[in-house]
Chain A
Amino acid sequence: MTPAVPLLELRAVTKRFGGLTAVKDVSMTVRSGEIVGLIGPNGAGKTTIFNVITGVHRLDAGEVRIEGKRVDGLARYLIARCGVRRTYQIVRPFADMSVLENVMVGALFGRAEGQEQAEQQARDVAAFMGLSGREDEPASTLNLSEKKRLEIARALAADPKLLLLDEALSGLTPREIDAASELIGRIRTELGKTIIIVEHVMRAIMAISDRIVVLHHGEGIADGTPQEVRRDRRVIEAYLGESA
């Protein structure tokens, strides 16, 4: 029996900005159904990895494969059509559009066929993300927690295979974090999505993720279960400094 092709595979990915190497020789694999946490101190290259996967940045070296198919170098919208959607660290909803319209963009440019089906899907996803009753409000009137949920809803409406969440929990209150963590869990169990989540809120990410990948200065320094990673000497050094 041949092992299943991983949903996402990064092979020795390197990205430089001028003299700065933001991501250096990083390899990682994500299998269908997993929740993978991507952590690391500020500037470790987490968001750069998302930008590399979604085609925002061109690679300097390495490969990105989705279901075995090489996607690095493809236009952003074509990578999206391979089933990848993301959210943003600093939220970027379509401010002039209503909540429903935002989510409709996701559905229409995802797999929905026709506007009616798209609207139905958008309503369902908005309800799933706890935005019922807010559908007709302009996206700009939502608070941060709602905007983050809107971004997830917009991404989910496309029915993606891979969902990239960039700090979906930061800036939220502890109660909101608990609610959002539970929601992310349900996105996997109920909607069957594969998720990579970049996060600084350690308690939450350790609880949600099946596996954690740790970046430090653009390099992958650990990859394992939350328990393994928590005990890893290099990870502790990266977070707390040499003397710890």
Chain B
Amino acid sequence: MRSVAHSLLLWRRPTPLLTLAVCSILALIPLSRNAEWITFCITMMNLIVLTYSLNMVVGLTGYLSFGHVVFWGLGAYTAGALVMATGGPIGYNPYWIVPLGGVVSLVFAAAVGYPTMRLRGAYFAIATVSINVAVQTLFFNLERLGGAEGLPLNRALLRLTDRVTPAYYVLLALLFLAFWTHYGILKGKAGYGLRAILNDEDVAETMGVNATGYKVAIFAAAAFFAGVAGAAWGIFQNFVDPDNFRLGISVDLFVIMMLGGVGTALGPLVGGVIYYVIRDLLILRFPYLHLVIFGVVIVIIVLASPGGLIGTLRKRHRQLRAVLE
């Protein structure tokens, strides 16, 4: 009985409510038919979903996944390969296959995570970078999928009249789902297990927590979100190439995550929106210096609030602690 009452009181919980509000605003933007806004939001939501994916691994398991973009790239190539497999224009909406991009990344993450998530500290981080580079090199040399030149999808997507709107809503749905997943994990039994693992993995195990199982499951679930986003992005761009595995993308993800607050369910959303708005303003005002200024701004923000914006707010206002998960 109490759990029913609990869920009815959800409106009292600002974290899901705020996310819902932001998502509702985002949902209305395509109605404006402003192509510039829509592209801006698609790019932003893509990176926010990727940051959620990264944040699940870094924030919930404590492992630094520096090569996280590999799951995005695999999703993109999965979509590309499936779309091109027909050899001609396809008769269905290609966005139906984006979940398969997630599945491929999930399976890959589980296979890679099982041996590597027993590694501790820096070794896991190094392993993920190596895997990212190895997979990228593989696709550079895979001539059947376009090799270094990439794979244009024009031929297969000939009949697709609107590439943009479905990509927009796929990414928006993913964003909300990623938030819910993270929030649900934090609030549930898994959240306790994961925090125990973060505190002391050996003790957690002797308390009955299957540490490796939890870590690999989180890693695989996180990869799923990145994979679906990658697949949607590939179709949206009409093109996949080895640049989908660019390590540099990870830098953006880490910045957004740290800006918002590592491990928090709101962090990637808040961090992502602020990051994009600041970046856009800076590019307009200082087209040549914007990266330098941005770098300084990021350093200041991170130094001033190591817990990110959400983490700092939570610390400053005790009464907000229960609210800002």
On A, residues with C-beta under 8 Å from B are: 54-56, 75-77, 79-81, 85-86, 88, 92, 94-97, 101, 104-106, 108-110, 114-116, 118, 154-155, 158
The residue that A116 contacts in the complex, of B2, B196, B199, B207, with Cβ under 8 A, is B2
Residues on B with C-beta less than 8 A from A94 are 195-196, 199-200, 203-204
B86 contacts partner chain A, Cβ-Cβ < 8 Å: no
Cα–Cα distance between A9 and B198 once the two chains are bound (Å): 33
Tell me which of A56, A76, A96, A114 contacts B195 (CB under 8 A): A96
Chain B contact-residue range equals 20 to 34
With A92-B200, A94-B199 already in contact, the answer to whether A80 and B206 are too (CB < 8 A) is: yes
* List of A residues within 8 angstroms of B195 by Cβ: 94, 96-97, 101, 105
- A106 contacts B2, C-beta separation under 8 Å: no
Residue from the set A55, A81, A101 with the largest chain B CB neighbour count within 10 Å: A101
B211 at the A/B interface (Cβ < 8 Å)?
A: yes
Asked whether B3 is an interface residue with its Cβ less than 8 Å from the other chain, the reply is yes
A92 to B204, CA, bound (A): 10
Residue of B188, B207, B210 touching A105 (CB-CB under 8 A): B207
Q: Taking the nearest CB of chain B, how far is it from the CB of A113, in angstroms?
A: 10
Distance of A223 Cα from B14 Cα, bound (Å)? 61
B209's partner among A77, A86, A96 (CB-CB below 8 A) is: A77
**For B208, what are the chain A residues with a Cβ–Cβ distance below 8 Å?**
77, 80-81, 109-110, 158
Residues of B within 8 A of A56 (CB): 202, 206
Quote the shortest CB–CB distance from A187 to chain B (angstroms).
17
Q: How far is the CA of A97 from the CA of B3 in the complex (A)?
A: 23
Given A54-B206, A109-B189, A109-B209: 13 more A-B contacts, CB < 8 Å? A76-B202, A80-B205, A85-B206, A94-B203, A96-B195, A97-B195, A104-B192, A105-B192, A105-B204, A105-B207, A108-B192, A109-B207, A115-B189
Complex Cα–Cα for A115 and B195 (A): 15
Give B contacts to A, CB under 8 Å.
2-3, 188-189, 192-193, 195-196, 198-200, 202-211
Are B211 and A77 interface neighbours, CB within 8 A?
Answer: yes
User: Beyond A56-B202, A92-B200, A96-B199, is A80–B207 a contact (Cβ under 8 Å)?
Assistant: yes
Could you list some 15 contacts between A and B, CB below 8 A?
A54-B206, A76-B202, A80-B206, A86-B206, A96-B198, A97-B195, A105-B204, A105-B207, A106-B207, A108-B189, A108-B192, A109-B209, A110-B208, A155-B207, A158-B207
B207→A115 contact, CB < 8 A: no
Chain B residue numbers with a CB within 8 Å of A76 are 202, 205-206
Q: Is the CB of B193 within 8 A of A116?
A: no
CB distance from B287 to the nearest CB of A (A): 44
Q: Which residues of chain A are near B193, meaning CB under 8 Å?
A: 105, 108-109
Q: Give CA–CA (A116, B207) in the complex, Å.
A: 19
Could you tell me if A77 and B205 are in contact, using CB atoms closer than 8 angstroms? yes
A81 to B207, CA, bound (A): 8
In the assembly, what is the distance between CA of A47 and CA of B236, in Å? 60
A108 to B192, CA, bound (A): 8
CB distance from B62 to the nearest CB of A (A): 11
B residues less than 8 Å from A114 (CB atoms): 3
CA A101 to CA B199, docked complex, whole Å: 12
Q: State in angstroms the CA–CA spacing of A116 and B4 once bound together.
A: 12
CB of B104, distance to nearest CB on chain A (Å): 29
- Distance in angstroms between the alpha carbons of A105 and B204 in the assembled complex: 8
Bound CA–CA A91/B220 (angstroms): 33
How many whole Å from A52's CB to the nearest CB in chain B?
A: 12
- Note all chain B residues with C-beta closer than 8 A to A55: 206
Chain B residues with CB under 8 Å of A155's CB are: 207
Known: A56-B206, A76-B205. A97 touches B189 (CB 8 A): no
- Answer whether A105 and B209 are a contact pair too, CB < 8 Å, given A96-B199, A97-B199, A116-B3: yes
Query: Quick one: which of B188, B207, B210 has the most chain A CB within 10 A?
Result: B207
In the complex, residue of chain B having the shortest beta-carbon distance to the beta carbon of A109: B208
Q: Chain A nearest CB: distance from B246 CB in Å?
A: 35
Contact residues in A for B200 (Cβ distance below 8 Å) = 92, 94
Closest Cβ neighbor of B6 among chain A residues: A116
Q: Which residues on the B side are within 8 Å of A158 (C-beta)?
A: 207-208
| A206–chain B nearest beta-carbon distance, Å | 28
Inter-chain contact A105/B206, CB cutoff 8 Å: no
The 9 closest A-B pairs by CB, nearest first: A80-B208, A94-B199, A109-B208, A76-B205, A77-B210, A105-B196, A108-B189, A92-B203, A105-B192
Please determine whether B3 and A101 come into contact, CB atoms closer than 8 angstroms. no
- Which chain B residues lie closer than 8 Å to A104 at the CB level? 192
Closest chain A residue to B196 by CB distance?
A: A105
CA distance A92 to B202 in the complex (A): 10
Closest CB-CB distance, B107 to chain A, in whole Å? 23
A57 CB, min distance to chain B CBs, angstroms: 12
B192 contacts A85, C-beta separation under 8 Å = no
